[in-house]
Amino acid sequence: MSERLPVSAIVSLGATQIIGYGTLYYSFSILAPDMALEFNWPVEWVFGLLSASLFLSGLAAPLAGRWMDRFGAGRVMALGSLAAALSLVVCAVAPNPAVFVAGILCVELAANLVQYGAAFSLLVQIRPREASRSITYLTLIAGFASTIFWPITTFLHGQMDWREVYLVFAALNLLLCLPLHGWLGIQGKVGTRNTAALGRGEPVVGILPASVRDSGFRLMLAGMGLLSFVNSALLFHLVPVLTGLGLGQTAVLVATVFGPAQVLSRFTNMIFGQNLKPLHLAVLTALLAPSAIFILSVSYPAIPGALLFATVFGFGSGLASIVFGTLPLVLFGSEGYGARQGQMTLVRLVASAISPFGLAFLLETSGADVVLWSLVVLGLVAGALFVALARLGRHAVQPA
């Protein structure tokens, strides 16, 4: 018998995820040119600073995950909201570049404590047996973060400078996210080891036996890392790549299809994917990225082919967030879920941090064609890793 979904927790987390991703990540691309102008830096330096901060925050992700298991994800998220607000204030009042650099680093470290990995851990701690469905609903809500915060940031920046915008964002994290996370901390106030004691249902037991867990976890990390590399690299350079393939002014139009497709994939999975096992969803997700890039490679500069590419690519990217949350729960269970999320976040953030530079170098030296076929190969390798993981999981659940 299934348990009732924690609707209030999902809605509250959906609001904090929109604010968290909107204020700590999506707003940066809009404000970065003015930041660079004020400090007399090339814009590339500012984006390089963000990548370096993502890389360093990834190194801290496993520790954050262990904190969530030990102290409860809600308490860690409340601390993260406070840290995010203070970090944004540090950036806003930074008197020199050194303080600004320190502030951006702290912003991304705080983001580790409030974004998807932490939110997924909290849902597992609140109601473990319904966590997979809860994660699907949450990613659907949070998928509107860019759609909401790009225009909000643009509007605010039209009325005030980037420092004042950051002060407004600090207030959102302090006055909205902190109370919500504090309240949610009461719902999941202990780690997953004590979830049953709260009367929130029995913990989830992973399908992989102890004998293959290490190899399974390595396969999952490698697959997630490659998938994150492909998605982040192409998404970061989507418009330049499309322009380099001869799409010209329509490149921006094609790129705008990505966001709605991402949300549509989560909605489709929520309605029709209830019987689709997370292992099968992982394989499908991994194969969508190279399939989309292959479509673009053989169809450019035709606009219909580019639109189909953006739709398929966005669909795969949207599902990847769901896989990120549900796959480790199904394979390894709710015990120690936060620590595993921390390790996965490390791999994903490191891949996301280095991929834009790797792709930029390849784009400059070899051209868009080589970039696309290289990403197709990497995506297929990721798919093969998830297929191997699915085989491992299928053998694990077969009767002796």
Q: Is residue 241 domain-shared with residue 274, that is, in the same domain?
A: yes
In a domain, residue 199? The reply is no
Mark whether 21 and 138 lie in a shared domain.
yes
- Interatomic CA distance for residues 90 and 388, integer angstroms: 46
pLDDT averaged over consecutive 10-residue blocks of the chain (400 residues)? Answer: 74 94 87 90 85 88 90 92 97 95 94 91 88 87 83 90 96 96 76 44 75 87 89 74 75 75 81 74 87 86 85 87 86 87 89 76 74 85 88 60
Contacts of 8 by beta carbon, 8 Å cutoff, 6+ apart? none
Q: How far apart are CA 147 and CA 142, in angstroms?
A: 10
Count of Cβ atoms closer than 10 Å to residue 294 Cβ:
18
For 203-217, how does the pLDDT look when each residue is reduced to its tens digit (9 = 90+)?
Answer: 777 778 777 888 889
169 occurs within a structural domain: yes
| Residue appearing with tokens 């915008």 | 165
**Total number of domains in the chain:** 2
Q: Which amino acid is located at 97 in the chain?
A: P
Considering 191, 221, 243, which residue would you say is the last residue of a domain?
191
Range of the domain at 265: 210-397
In the prediction, which pLDDT does 105 show? 94
32 in any annotated domain:
yes
Do 162 and 218 share a domain, yes or no?
no
Q: Are residues 219 and 173 in the same domain?
A: no
Residues 219 and 170 in one domain: no
d(CA 257, CA 182): 36
Count of beta carbons in the 10 Å neighbourhood of residue 122:
29
Give a yes or no: residue 378 inside a domain: yes
Looking at the structure, do residues 114 and 242 belong to the same domain, yes or no? no
pLDDT of residue 324: 87
The answer on 236 and 148 residing in a single domain is: no
Q: CA 337 to CA 23: how far, in whole Å?
A: 27
CATH of residue 293's domain is 1.20.1250.20
Please work out, in degrees rounded to the nearest 5, the angle formed at the alpha carbon of residue 150 by the alpha carbons of 146 and 153.
Answer: 135
Reported as a single tens digit per residue, the pLDDT across 223-275 is 999 888 888 877 766 777 777 777 777 777 777 777 788 888 888 877 776 66
CA-nearest of 129, 111, 134 to 16 is 111
Tell me 200's DSSP state.
S
